[in-house]
Each structure stands twice: as C-alpha cells, then as structure tokens.
Amino acid sequence: MSETPPHPRPTPGLLLRGVEIFPGWLEPPAQAEMVEDLRAVVAAAPFFQPETRFGRKMSVRMTSAGRYGWVSDRRGYRYERRHPSGVAWPPIPASVLAVWEAITGLDRRPDCCLVNYYAEGAKMGMHQDRDEADFGWPVLSISLGDAARFRIGNIERGGATESVWLNSGDVLVMGGEARLVHHGIDRVRPGSSTLLKGGGRLNLTLRVVD
Ligand code: MD3
Ligand code: FE
C-alpha cells in the first residue's frame, strides 16, 4: 500500500467526483519544453495504434516512457518492458517527473508515462484503469495541445456521468475514491491550441505499475 504523502501538496482548483483538477498548472513555455522532451521519447519509441483483443484498432495512438509501457494487441492489454519494436522504453523526461513530484508530494516515482496522441476524430471510450498492482497509488494526467471533453462516471459501470473540458497545461490527479472510476475522452476540439505543429492532443498519464 502507498503511504501518506511525505511532502505538502498544492490545493486543486477544482474537484470532480474526487478527481483533482489543476487548471493551467503548466504555463505555455513549460508546455513547449515538455513537448520538445516528448519528441525524444517518440523518436526512440514511435507511436503505434494499439489493437483491442477483438482486433479493432483504437483511434488513439500511444507510446510510453519509463520502466514499463502499456500495450494492447490480440493477446489483450498489459504492461510490458519493451516497445512492440523490441526496444526498451526511453526514460521519463525530468520535466514530466517534476510535475509528479510537485503535485503528488510522493517520494515514489512513477514506473510508466503513457503518452496518448489524439488526432482529429480520436476518442477513448469509458473504461477503468486497473492493470496496475496497487490502486493505493494515484494516476496523474497532463493535457497538452487541443482541448478535449473528459467524461467521468462511477466505480460501477453505467449511471450518471459528468464532463469537463481539459485544456493544454491542465493537470489531473486520480487518487483515493477516484482511482477506479470509469472515465473517457468524448472528443477533441480541432484548432483550439497552437502548441502542437500538426494539431491534435497529447495526454500523459503517470502510473506506479508494480
Ligand atoms: C480517472 N486517458 O490513458 S486522462 C488513459 O485523456 C486515459 O488520454 C485519458 O484514460 C486521456 O487511461 C484520460 C485522465 C485520467 C487518467 C487515468 C484515470 C483519468 C482517470 C484513472 C482513474 C480515474
Ligand atoms: Fe484511463
């Protein structure tokens, strides 16, 4: 189990069903530096389009940094030590780790930074994140680029949902009761940010895997 945070934590600007939202945590220059750091990640571990176990391609493109990366194919989804090409995942950039440290206040570092890329029309259906060993650790998300409508539901499937638009530079923390809620991305608003040259949205999720 995770311990109580050993360091003080900032107060979230918003709370949505237990999800802590820090709107505009990253200023535009810090966002641009992070995108540069992510170019190196993507150069070493290129984006791929995961397939579900049913053989359907996901619309989101993905890659990872860290000791583990998240993959999905006909064998199902899981964390792996290597990119599908066989190379080890590149290290998580220091600029990304700094956000985890500042916001979670934890001494434990994340094992995985999953990088999701949403081109125009990409979305992510409602799901839970439960491939990690210990749900006592939070998940932290960083949004970069075009705005997206984030939907949050309940721990049980179905029921009422609420949504919020996430903008470039926003950071979310899902811990405690919020760690196992269903969530997804309805849609991305094309042209809502100039951060990424080709448009679209990047989302980073930092996870403790084992
Ligand atoms: C709430 N990504 O990669 S980030 C995912 O914007 C994922 O790409 C979305 O859901 C994205 O699994 C949403 C916000 C998020 C991430 C993990 C959560 C919300 C969460 C885990 C538990 C509860
Ligand atoms: Fe998720």
Tens-digit pLDDT profile for residues 62-112 = 999 999 999 999 999 999 999 999 999 999 999 999 999 999 999 999 999
Reply yes or no on whether the pLDDT at 173 is more than 70. Answer: yes
pLDDT at 2: 59
- The per-residue pLDDT for 6 is 77
Give me the pLDDT at residue 47, please: 98
Q: Which of 20, 62, 68, 141 to mutate to test the pocket of ligand 1 (most atoms within 8 A of CB)?
A: 141
Is residue 18 over pLDDT 90?
yes
Distance 127 CA to ligand 2 centre (A): 6
Residue 148 Cα to ligand 1 midpoint, Å, equals 12
Helix H, strand E, coil C: the string for the chain is: CCCCCCCCCCCCCEEECCEEEECCCCCHHHHHHHHHHHHHHHHHCCCECCECCCCCECCCEEEEEECCEEEEECCEEEEECECCCCCECCCCCHHHHHHHHHHHCCCCCCCEEEEEEECCCCCEEEECCCCCCCCCCCEEEEEEECCEEEEECCCCCCCCCEEEEECCCCEEEECHHHHHCCEEEEEECCCCCCCCCCCCEEEEEEECCC
Q: Is 181 a pocket residue for ligand 1 (Cβ < 6 Å)?
A: yes
Cα–Cα distances in angstroms (integers) from residue 179 to residues 47, 84, 145, 154, in the given order: 26, 28, 25, 10
Ligand nearest to the CA of 176: 1
Give the residue whose CA is nearest to atom 4 of ligand 1. Answer: 141
0.95 surpassed by pTM: yes
- Nearest C-alpha to atom 6 of ligand 1 is from which residue? 203
* pLDDT given at position 171: 99
Q: Is 179 in the pocket of ligand 1 (CB under 6 A)?
A: yes
Q: What is the pLDDT of residue 1?
A: 59
The percentage of residues in the chain with a pLDDT greater than 90, rounded to a whole number, is: 97
6-11 own/partner pairs: CB under 8 Å, 24+ apart: 6/105, 6/106, 6/107, 7/105, 7/106, 7/107, 8/105, 9/103, 9/104, 9/105, 10/102, 10/103
- The reported pLDDT for the residue numbered 30 is 98
The residue-averaged pLDDT of 124-152 equals 98
| Cα–Cα distances in angstroms (integers) from residue 52 to residues 49, 75, 172, 192, in the given order | 10, 8, 26, 30
Cα(87) to ligand 1 centroid in Å equals 25
Per-residue pLDDT tens over the stretch 26-43: 999 999 999 999 999 999
Residue of 112, 152, 167, 183 to test ligand 1 pocket, by largest number of atoms within 8 Å of CB? 183
Query: What domains lie within the chain, and their CATH numbers?
Result: 14-207 (2.60.120.590)
